[in-house]
Amino acid sequence: MKLLLTSVSVFLAISSQANNAHQKLSKSDYVDQWKSVAIKQMKEHNIPASITLAQGILESGSGNSTLAVQGKNHFGIKCHGWTGDKMYMDDDAKGECFRVYKSADDSYEDHSLFLEKYDRYAFLFNLEITDYKEWANGLKKAGYATNPQYPQLLINIIEELKLSDLDKGVIPEIVAQPELIAVRETMSNKHEVSIQGKRTKYIIAKKGDTFYKISQEFGLTLGQLYRYNDFDSHKDVLEEGDRVYVQPKHDGGWFKKKKEITVKEEVSINELSQEYGVKAKNLVRINGFADRNVVLSAGEKVTLR
């Protein structure tokens, strides 16, 4: 069963039924409106902005489809375990269920999380972020779309609109080591994060801190805070001294060359992720571990990039 609506013809048909009150967007209009969101997703999830925008244009008819207008769903993601609002439309079968979002921004975020969640897409994240052609072909190979022309349709959109320019010059500058900065300043009883350069920012938990308290303190949702951190599954409360990230970790790209460490004592993948600021799923993929539940012994070597 497909998880995404991938038939271009269906979306074009849906587009013609879009709400009359909605002003039709051209492909260029769509890019102008959503490129900053796509770039943000690229920085946080390492998915080329060009690919995200091309998929949005293709799947939503440049934001004009009924699903995009009424459901804020720009990528045709179907329900499959979804507990939020829903819409029912004909696709591969009659009356299929599609997710409805509070905002199109949420649709973009869910699209990124979708690609990160399923193992069949994992190989994509080993591709260069500027190689949109390999990403387009990789999406088809992974089963994102049934249309055999899907990769070329994406490539045509990217090249027509010069979307590949968005994939260049926006990657954080590479430095020799990941600069992890812990800053938490009290000013009139208010904590603030100091935004300095392109560094991974985290705070050190104090006695009495909770996930909810920190999320409110830094203007995050609980979902964001959980995604930014890789705590072991049994951890449900914070302890004094815990490192808590308040922005997304990186994929190891901080290291200019291959970076390898030797484990000094028994440690979990999640604990290494918290220590070095590299996403746990990236450590699993780079090192070929079975999963993130692997526990490493003293003396084992781990590649961070």
Indicate the domain borders of the chain.
8-167, 172-305
Instruction: Name the band, by pLDDT with cuts 50, 70 and 90, for residue 139.
Output: very high
Mean pLDDT value of segment 155-161: 96
pLDDT for 27-60, tens place per residue?
A: 999 999 999 899 888 888 889 999 999 999 999 9
Q: What is the pLDDT of residue 279?
A: 85
Q: At CA 198, angle to CA 48 and CA 208, rounded to 5?
A: 110
Please tell me whether the overall predicted TM-score, pTM, comes out greater than 0.85 for this model. no
Unique residue bearing structure tokens 């770039």: 39
The whole-number pLDDT of residue 60 equals: 95
- Token look-up 């979990």 returns 268
pLDDT tens sequence across 56-84: 999 999 999 999 999 999 998 888 878 88
Q: Of 216 and 98, which is predicted with more confidence? A: 98
pLDDT at 11: 41
**Residue 215 parent element (H or E):** helix 211-217
Spatial contact of 195 and 67, defined as CB atoms under 8 Å apart:
no
**For residue 69, what are the CA distances in angstroms to 49, 58, 104, 159, 167?**
21, 15, 9, 26, 27
Band (pLDDT 50/70/90 cuts) for residue 236 is: low
Confidence check: pLDDT of 18 > 70: no
The pLDDT-based confidence of 199 (bands split at 50, 70, 90) is low
Instruction: Give CATH for domain 8-167.
Output: 1.10.530.10
Average pLDDT, the chain: 79
What pLDDT does 95 receive?
A: 84
Rounded to a whole number, what is the distance in angstroms from the first to the last CA of the chain?
Answer: 35
Amino acid, single-letter form, for residue 89: M
Q: Which of 20-29, 135-144, 218-227 has the highest mean pLDDT?
A: 135-144
Q: Is the pLDDT of residue 216 over 90?
A: no
